Copies of this chain bind each other. A is one copy, B any other.
Amino acid sequence: MQRSITMKDVARAAGVSVMTVSRAFQKDTSVRPETRDTILKVAEDLGYVFDSTAANLRSQRTDFVAVTIPSINNANFADTVAGLSEVLSNEGLQVLLAYTNYDMAQEERAIEQLLRRRPEAIVVTGGKHTVRARRLLEGAGIPVIEAWDLPANPIGHVVGFSNAATMEVMVNHLAAQGHERIAFIGGDVVADTRGADRRRGFMAAMKAHGLSCDRLIEAGPPPISMREGAQAMERLLALHPDTQAVVCVSDLSAFGALTECQRRGLRVPQDMVITGFGAYEIASICVPTLTTVNPFPRKIGEEIADLIVNTIKKPTEQQIRKIAPELVVAGSTEKVSEMRNR
> Which of A's residues lie within 8 Å of B, judged by CB?
1-3, 47, 49-54, 56-57, 62, 71-73, 75, 78-79, 81-82, 85, 94-99, 112-113, 115-118, 135-136, 139-142, 225-227, 230, 252, 255-256, 259, 262-263, 281-282, 284-287
Q: Is the CB of A284 within 8 A of B56?
A: no
CB within 8 Å for A226 and B99 given contacts A52-B117, A53-B117? no
CA distance A136 to B46 in the complex (A): 11
Chain copies in the assembled complex: 2
The answer, among B54, B97, B259, for a CB contact under 8 Å with A95, is B97
- Which residues of the partner chain B approach A99 to less than 8 Å between Cβ atoms? 82, 85
List 14 A-B pairs, Cβ < 8 Å: A2-B141, A52-B117, A52-B118, A53-B118, A71-B82, A72-B72, A72-B82, A73-B78, A73-B79, A85-B99, A94-B113, A259-B286, A262-B287, A282-B282
Cβ-defined contact, B75 with A73, below 8 A: yes
B residues in contact with A282, CB < 8 Å: 226, 255, 282
Measured CA separation A252–B282 after assembly (Å) = 9
Residue of A53, A56, A225, A256 most packed against chain B (CB within 10 A)? A53
Which residues of chain B have C-beta atoms less than 8 A from A52's C-beta? 116-118
Task: Give chain B nearest CB distance to A165 CB in angstroms.
Answer: 27
Residues of B near A117 (CB, < 8 A) are: 52-53
How far does the Cβ of A208 sit from chain B's closest Cβ, in whole Å? Answer: 34
Chain B residues near A139: list those with CB within 8 A.
Answer: 1, 47, 49
Residues from chain B with a CB closer than 8 A to the CB of A259 are 285-287
Q: Cβ of B1 and Cβ of A141 under 8 Å apart?
A: yes
Given A56-B56, A78-B78, A263-B287, 5 additional A-B pairs, CB 8 A: A49-B115, A53-B56, A73-B75, A85-B99, A95-B97
Nearest B residue (CB) for A297: B73
Please give, as numbers and ranges, the residues of chain B lying within 8 Å of A113 by CB-CB distance: 94
